[in-house]
């Protein structure tokens, strides 16, 4: 299916290219640790320097996620987060920000139960630009990817170290927005790939696609963000940000007054990573 | 509903039984799932593979398992002639070993050197640990904390067999959460690890493959009842968690539509209390653990905790082929409460000198409801899927006895 629409994701990656730097994709879980605090975090992320926002739709059984995001999802669900509330959060965010791309990330069941057509219509109306649904590989593209493209929402495909050159064209066939490279075999917030391994993977992906490449899993520090932002077009940080939420809860699990600033402060630190590393030095040039 | 020519043709080439099944997995796993499918298709076409499995089933597992006429129970209930398919007499004490023998052979063919599995009651964990010991492969079993507590003897059995039991404390601390962590392990250790799923659920090709390995139950039953009674059974009854023992008994008979087939889900404290594990009776179609199937969930699509006295049935989903058979109406699905299952557990122990697993007790409880109203020449086969030794601590606890 040809993609003949443009979203904030396309515009943002073009702007990053003009600026000559990589981008920071910041992941937070909608509703973590409570709806109001989560909204304050979301609103503050662009100001802190997040170029794109991945907003997690919490799910009871996040099979691709490590302990940090599992706990974060549990906190959000316990605080009453639902898919409809997550979409509404985006709508309110859009009242003040019409430029920062928002990608909803999650698992298929809550979307399926919401109803695919209704979900896409509501998400589009709220200002959602893209979707990352972990458990929908290209083999299940008719479920949500193709309907999403019809609704002019990017369906972001994940590629992994196990996605070989034979399989890549099938994965990229309906890719749009950007391609998310899962840099390790594993779950979020655990092991980190070396910069060399990421560079090699990016080179391989570049032979197959012109779409921007974002790299995630195991990226925790401003330094890593800087290096990955140079190797690819963007670095995704999730668990490390969510850990800032976890680290600023009181004994009852409620947000401490400093929580929002702690998360945004850390996001700002990460954002400096991509800005300081400005210059797109290629691997060859650095040799 | 119009009758199908066959109920045994599924899944299609994309792993679907109607709308159920499929391959809802992360990209990292997808290439492995495709590899597994290719390897299984190749093995299936190889007579040596089947001969190898048959050899171990005969000499190691002790198959065929007897088809036993439960005379006292039949007389006491006063209706149908009741037969037990004695899967409890298999080595390791349940039907689970049938599947483990098949899959370990496949894992060896694929050159995998590390085996992982999830377990609920521990029977699949024990069976997996057993075949890993047999073939000298390292074995890691994921088991919910709550299940570890209520199935202590099986935990020790697994350790005795050389397996590492990893407790899973997230979520409800039961089978669903153990499965999440097993999938997380698989996605992390893609190169050397074989995920040996214990039931007819998960992503394609597991539901079909596990079914194929369990069909030995139904195939033997057919031969045995012909020998004993000179005809086919009139009804089949089996309990269902994920549904592998039931599928193994049912599948070979699905196209003989005169045979009444009844699957028994766990109603826990009662369907109306919301504390149960009856995905078909009280759930709706959704996507979890790689497949679309009936699931227990809330209105937001969040998976709910299941409840059953029997750890092996304590799962908020069911195999996708059962979901399809439910929709087509070929198989009847009913549910039995904890209390009814316990009553059947005691009844069978006293009546036949056979202590059944609490899982299998659900099937017996259903048979106790059905049999009295059936004619005396009605032939009923109950799948006695496992033995109840593992449940004695639990039942003693209910009786206020400390062992």
* pLDDT number for residue B403: 84
* pLDDT number for residue A62: 96
Q: How far is the C-alpha of B358 from the C-alpha of B380, rounded, in Å?
A: 20
* pLDDT number for residue B4: 78
- Chain A residues within an 8 Å CB radius of B286: 109, 112-113
What's the pLDDT tens digit per position in B153-173?
A: 899 999 999 999 999 998 778
User: Token pair for residue B27?
Assistant: 């990209």
Residue spans of the domains in chain A: they are 8-276
Decide if A109 and B303 are in contact by the 8 Å CB cutoff.
Answer: yes
* pLDDT band, very low/low/confident/very high, at A1 (cuts 50, 70, 90): low
* pLDDT number for residue A271: 98
Domain A8-276, CATH number (from 3.30.9.10, 2.40.110.10, 3.40.980.10, 3.20.20.70): 3.20.20.70
Percent of chain A with pLDDT over 90: 95
- pLDDT at residue B241 tops 50: yes
Q: DSSP for A173-188, please give it.
A: TT--S-EEEE-SSS-T
What's the pLDDT tens digit per position in A166-175?
A: 999 999 999 9
CA nearest neighbour of A89 among A132, A45, A51, A154 = A45
> Which of these ranges, A54-63, B146-155, B244-253, B325-334, has the smallest mean pLDDT?
B146-155
Decide if B184 and A64 are in contact by the 8 Å CB cutoff.
Answer: yes
Cβ–Cβ under 8 Å, residues B213 and B99:
yes
What's the pLDDT tens digit per position in A41-85?
A: 999 999 999 999 999 999 999 999 999 999 999 999 999 999 999
What's the pLDDT tens digit per position in B211-223?
A: 999 999 999 999 9
- Chain B residues within an 8 Å CB radius of A70: 170
Helix ranges (H only) for B189-284 are 206-214, 216-229, 244-250, 279-282
Q: For A28, what's the count of Cα atoms within 13 Å in the CB-facing half-sphere?
A: 33
* pLDDT band, very low/low/confident/very high, at A29 (cuts 50, 70, 90): very high
Decide if A113 and B170 are in contact by the 8 Å CB cutoff.
Answer: no
- In DSSP terms, which residues pair with A159 in a beta bridge? A181
- pLDDT at residue A283 tops 60: no
Higher-scoring residue by pLDDT: B393, B126: B126
CA nearest neighbour of B298 among A181, A109, A99 = A109
- pLDDT at residue B373 tops 90: yes
Sign of the torsion formed by the C-alpha atoms of A104, A17, A263 and A224: positive
- Chain B residues within an 8 Å CB radius of A109: 286-288, 295, 297, 301, 303
Q: In terms of CA atoms, which chain A residue is nearest residue B294?
A: A109
Measure the N-to-C terminal CA separation of chain A; round to a whole number of Å: 40
The average confidence (pLDDT) of chain B is 96
Name the interface residues of B facing A (CB cutoff 8 Å).
Answer: 14, 22-32, 170-171, 176-177, 180, 183-184, 187-191, 286-290, 295, 297, 299-304
Q: Which are the catalytic amino acids of A?
A: 54, 65
- Chain A residues within an 8 Å CB radius of B144: none
What's the pLDDT tens digit per position in B9-35?
A: 999 999 999 999 999 999 999 999 999
The average confidence (pLDDT) of chain A is 95
User: Token pair for residue B142?
Assistant: 């994921």
> Is A180 near chain B, with CB under 8 Å?
no
Strands (E), A91-227: 102-106, 130-133, 154-155, 157-159, 179-182, 213-216
Sign of the torsion formed by the C-alpha atoms of A101, A102, A107 and A112: negative
Q: How far is CA A214 from CA A45, A154, A160, A188, B168, in A?
A: 18, 14, 12, 15, 32
| Separation in Å, CA of B21 to nearest CA in chain A | 11
| Separation in Å, CA of B44 to nearest CA in chain A | 23
A181 Cβ partners below 8 Å, 6+ apart? Answer: A158, A159, A160, A198, A201, A202, A205, A213, A214, A215, A216, A232
Percentages helix, strand, coil for chain B (3-state, rounded to 5) are 45, 20, 35
Measure the N-to-C terminal CA separation of chain B; round to a whole number of Å: 53
Exposed e or buried b for every residue in B234-254, given b needs 16+ CB within 10 A? Answer: bbbbbbbbbbbbbbbbbbbbb
* pLDDT number for residue B2: 56
What's the pLDDT tens digit per position in A104-155?
A: 999 999 999 999 999 999 999 999 999 999 999 999 999 999 999 999 999 9
* pLDDT band, very low/low/confident/very high, at A158 (cuts 50, 70, 90): very high
> Is A139 near chain B, with CB under 8 Å?
yes
Q: In terms of CA atoms, which chain B residue is nearest residue A74?
A: B171
Mutate which of A56, A76, A109, A218 to test chain B, going by most B C-beta atoms within 10 A? Answer: A109
**Annotated catalytic, B96?**
yes
Other beta carbons within 10 angstroms of residue A162's beta carbon come to 19
Percent of chain B with pLDDT over 70: 99
* pLDDT number for residue B149: 87
- Chain B residues within an 8 Å CB radius of A82: 300
Decide if B28 and A66 are in contact by the 8 Å CB cutoff.
Answer: no
What's the pLDDT tens digit per position in B290-322?
A: 999 999 999 999 999 999 999 889 899 999 999
Q: What is the mean pLDDT of residues B74-87?
A: 98
- pLDDT at residue B375 tops 90: yes
CA nearest neighbour of B217 among B45, B10, B61 = B61
- pLDDT at residue B199 tops 70: yes
What's the pLDDT tens digit per position in A14-24?
A: 999 999 999 99
What's the pLDDT tens digit per position in A260-273?
A: 999 999 999 999 99
B400 Cβ partners below 8 Å, 6+ apart? Answer: none
* pLDDT number for residue A287: 42
Q: How far is the C-alpha of B108 from the C-alpha of B104, rounded, in Å?
A: 6
Of B29, B180, B188, the CB nearest to A61: B180
User: Token pair for residue B101?
Assistant: 């023998």
């Amino acid at each position: 299916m040809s993609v003949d629409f443009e979203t904030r994701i396309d515009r943002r990656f073009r702007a990053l290219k003009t600026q000559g730097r990589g981008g920071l994709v910041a992941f937070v879980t909608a509703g973590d640790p409570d709806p109001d605090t989560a909204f304050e975090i979301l609103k503050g992320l662009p100001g802190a320097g997040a170029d794109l926002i991945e907003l997690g739709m919490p799910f009871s059984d996040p099979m691709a996620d490590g302990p940090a995001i599992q706990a974060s999802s549990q906190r959000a669900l316990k605080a009453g987060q639902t898919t409809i509330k997550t979409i509404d959060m985006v709508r309110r965010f859009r009242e003040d920000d019409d430029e920062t791309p928002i990608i909803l990330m999650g698992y298929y069941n809550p979307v399926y139960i919401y109803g695919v057509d209704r979900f896409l219509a509501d998400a589009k109306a709220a200002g959602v630009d893209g979707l990352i649904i972990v458990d929908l590989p290209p083999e299940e593209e008719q479920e949500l990817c193709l309907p999403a493209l019809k609704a002019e929402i990017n369906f972001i495909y994940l590629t992994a170290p196990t996605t070989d050159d034979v399989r890549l064209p099938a994965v990229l066939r309906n890719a749009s927005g950007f391609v998310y490279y899962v840099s390790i075999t594993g779950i979020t917030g655990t092991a980190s790939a070396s910069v060399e391994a990421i560079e090699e993977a990016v080179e391989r992906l570049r032979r197959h696609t012109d779409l921007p490449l974002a790299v995630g899993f195991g990226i925790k520090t401003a330094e890593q963000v800087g290096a990955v932002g140079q190797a690819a077009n963007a670095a995704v940080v999730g668990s490390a940000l969510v850990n800032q939420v976890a680290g600023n809860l009181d004994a009852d699990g409620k947000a401490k007054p400093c929580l929002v600033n702690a998360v945004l402060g850390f996001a700002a630190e990460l954002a400096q990573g991509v800005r300081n590393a400005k210059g797109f030095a290629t691997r060859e040039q650095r040799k | 509903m119009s009758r199908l020519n066959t109920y045994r043709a599924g899944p299609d080439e994309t792993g679907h039984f109607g709308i159920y099944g499929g391959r809802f997995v992360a990209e990292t796993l997808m290439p492995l799932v495709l590899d597994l499918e290719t390897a299984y298709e190749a093995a299936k076409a190889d007579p040596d593979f089947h001969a190898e499995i048959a050899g171990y089933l005969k000499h190691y597992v002790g198959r065929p398992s007897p088809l036993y006429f439960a005379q006292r129970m039949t007389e006491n209930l006063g209706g149908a002639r009741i037969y037990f398919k004695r899967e409890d007499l298999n080595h390791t004490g349940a039907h689970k070993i049938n599947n483990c023998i098949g899959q370990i052979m496949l894992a060896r063919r694929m050159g995998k050197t590390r085996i992982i599995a999830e377990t609920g009651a521990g029977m699949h964990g024990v069976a997996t640990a057993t075949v890993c010991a047999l073939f000298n492969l390292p074995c890691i079993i994921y088991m919910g904390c709550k299940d570890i507590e209520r199935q202590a003897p099986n935990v020790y059995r697994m350790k005795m067999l050389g397996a590492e039991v990893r407790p899973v404390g997230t979520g409800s601390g039961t089978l669903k959460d153990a499965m999440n962590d097993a999938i997380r392990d698989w996605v992390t250790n893609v190169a050397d690890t074989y995920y040996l799923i214990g039931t007819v659920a998960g992503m394609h090709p597991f539901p079909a493959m596990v079914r194929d390995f369990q069909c030995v139950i139904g195939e033997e039953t057919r031969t045995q009842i012909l020998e004993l009674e000179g005809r086919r059974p009139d009804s089949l009854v089996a309990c269902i968690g994920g549904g592998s023992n039931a599928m193994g008994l049912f599948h070979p008979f699905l196209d003989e539509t005169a045979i009444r087939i009844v699957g028994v889900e766990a109603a826990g404290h009662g369907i109306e209390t919301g504390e149960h594990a009856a995905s078909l009776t009280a759930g709706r179609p959704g996507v979890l653990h790689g497949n679309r199937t009936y699931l227990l969930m809330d209105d937001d699509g969040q998976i709910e905790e299941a409840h059953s006295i029997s750890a092996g049935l304590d799962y908020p989903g069911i195999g996708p082929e059962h979901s399809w058979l439910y929709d087509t109406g070929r198989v009847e699905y009913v549910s039995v409460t904890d209390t009814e299952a316990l009553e059947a557990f005691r009844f069978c122990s006293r009546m036949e000198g056979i202590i059944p697993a609490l899982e299998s007790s659900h099937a017996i409880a259903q048979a106790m409801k059905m049999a009295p109203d059936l004619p005396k020449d009605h032939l009923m086969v109950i799948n006695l899927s496992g033995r109840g030794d593992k449940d004695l601590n639990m039942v003693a606890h209910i009786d206020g006895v400390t062992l």
